[in-house]
Structure 1
Amino acid sequence: PPDPFFLSIFLCISVNCQSSSPVNECNKVELSLVVQFLYTRHRPIFDTILTKLAQRVPGISQVKSKTTEEGRVLLSFQDAAFSDPFLARHVSDGTIKMLAYLILLHDPKPHPLLCVEEPENQLYHSLLVELAEEFRTYARQGGQVFVSTHSPDFLNATTIDEVFWLTKKQGYTRVHRARNDEQLVAFMNDGDQMGYLWKQGLFPGVEP
Structure 2
Amino acid sequence: MRIERIALKNFRALCDVELRNIPPFAVFMGENGSGKSTLFQVFGFLKDALQNNVSTALQKMGGYKEVVTRGHVGEPIVIEIHFRMRITNTKRLVSYRLEIAVDKGGSPFIRREILRYKRGRYGSPFHFLDFSKGQGFAISNEEDFSKSDSELTKDYQSLDSSDILAIKGLGQFQRFKAANAFRGLIENWHVSDFHIMAARQRAEVGVAEHLSESGDNLPLVVQHLYENDRDTLDRILKKFQERIPGMSEVTPSITEDGHVLLRFQDGAFKDPFIARYVSDGTIKMFAYLVLLHDPKPHPFLCIEEPENQLYPKLISMLVEELRDYAKHGGQVFVSTHSPDILNNVEVSEAVMLKKKNGESELCSFINNAQVKALIDAGDQLGWLWNQGLLEYE
Query: TM-score scaled by structure 1?
Result: 0.89
**Structure showing the higher helix proportion among its residues:** 1
Give the residue type in structure 2 aligned to 1:41. Answer: N
Cα distance in 1 between the residues matched to 2:278 and 2:219: 13
**Structure showing the higher strand proportion among its residues:** 2
Q: Which structure is richer in relative contact order (CA contacts within 8 A, separation 6 or more)?
A: 2
Aligned to 1:6: 190
Aligned to 2:231: 44
**C-alpha displacement at 1:21, in angstroms?**
7.0
Matches within 5 A, 1:106-185: 106-185=293-372
TM-superposition CA deviations, 1:122-144 (whole Å, max 9, x none): 10011110100000000001111
Aligned to 2:59: none
Q: 1:130 to 1:85 in 2, by over 3 A?
A: same
Q: 1:155 to 1:86 in 2, by over 3 A?
A: same
Aligned to 1:53: 240
Does structure 1 retain, via aligned residues, the 8 Å contact 2:211–2:291? no
368, 375, 379: which one aligns with 1:192: 379
Q: 1:124 to 1:176 in 2, by over 3 A?
A: same
Cα distance in 2 between the residues matched to 1:28 and 1:92: 16
**C-alpha displacement at 1:29, in angstroms?**
4.1
Q: 1:28 to 1:137 in 2, by over 3 A?
A: closer
Does structure 2 retain, via aligned residues, the 8 Å contact 1:21–1:109? no
Q: Secondary structure at the match of 1:84?
A: coil
**C-alpha displacement at 1:30, in angstroms?**
1.9
Matches within 5 A, 1:83-122: 83-122=270-309
**C-alpha displacement at 1:9, in angstroms?**
2.0
Q: 1:86 to 1:27 in 2, by over 3 A?
A: closer
Structure 1 residue runs without a partner (length 5+): 14-19
RMSD over equivalenced CA pairs, Å: 2.2
Q: Which has the larger radius of gyration?
A: 2
Does structure 1 retain, via aligned residues, the 8 Å contact 2:303–2:333? yes
Give the residue type in structure 2 aligned to 1:5. Answer: W
Q: Secondary structure at the match of 1:129?
A: helix
Q: Secondary structure at the match of 1:126?
A: helix
Cα distance in 2 between the residues matched to 1:87 and 1:103: 18
**C-alpha displacement at 1:202, in angstroms?**
1.6
Cα distance in 2 between the residues matched to 1:26 and 1:99: 15
Q: Secondary structure at the match of 2:375?
A: helix
Give the residue type in structure 2 aligned to 1:154. Answer: I
Q: 1:21 to 1:116 in 2, by over 3 A?
A: same
**C-alpha displacement at 1:173, in angstroms?**
2.2
**C-alpha displacement at 1:42, in angstroms?**
1.6
Does structure 2 retain, via aligned residues, the 8 Å contact 1:120–1:149? yes
Cα distance in 2 between the residues matched to 1:93 and 1:26: 17
**C-alpha displacement at 1:24, in angstroms?**
6.0
**C-alpha displacement at 1:174, in angstroms?**
1.8
TM-superposition CA deviations, 1:136-164 (whole Å, max 9, x none): 00000111111001110111011111111
Cα distance in 1 between the residues matched to 2:285 and 2:210: 16
**C-alpha displacement at 1:192, in angstroms?**
1.1
Q: 1:21 to 1:162 in 2, by over 3 A?
A: farther
Give the residue type in structure 1 aligned to 2:194. Answer: F
Q: Secondary structure at the match of 1:35?
A: helix
Cα distance in 2 between the residues matched to 1:21 and 1:90: 23
Does structure 1 retain, via aligned residues, the 8 Å contact 2:193–2:213? no
Q: Secondary structure at the match of 1:145?
A: strand
Query: TM-score scaled by structure 2?
Result: 0.48
Cα distance in 1 between the residues matched to 2:217 and 2:382: 34
Matches within 5 A, 1:75-90: 75-90=262-277
- Equivalent pairs, count: 200
TM-superposition CA deviations, 1:172-196 (whole Å, max 9, x none): 3221112121111001111111100
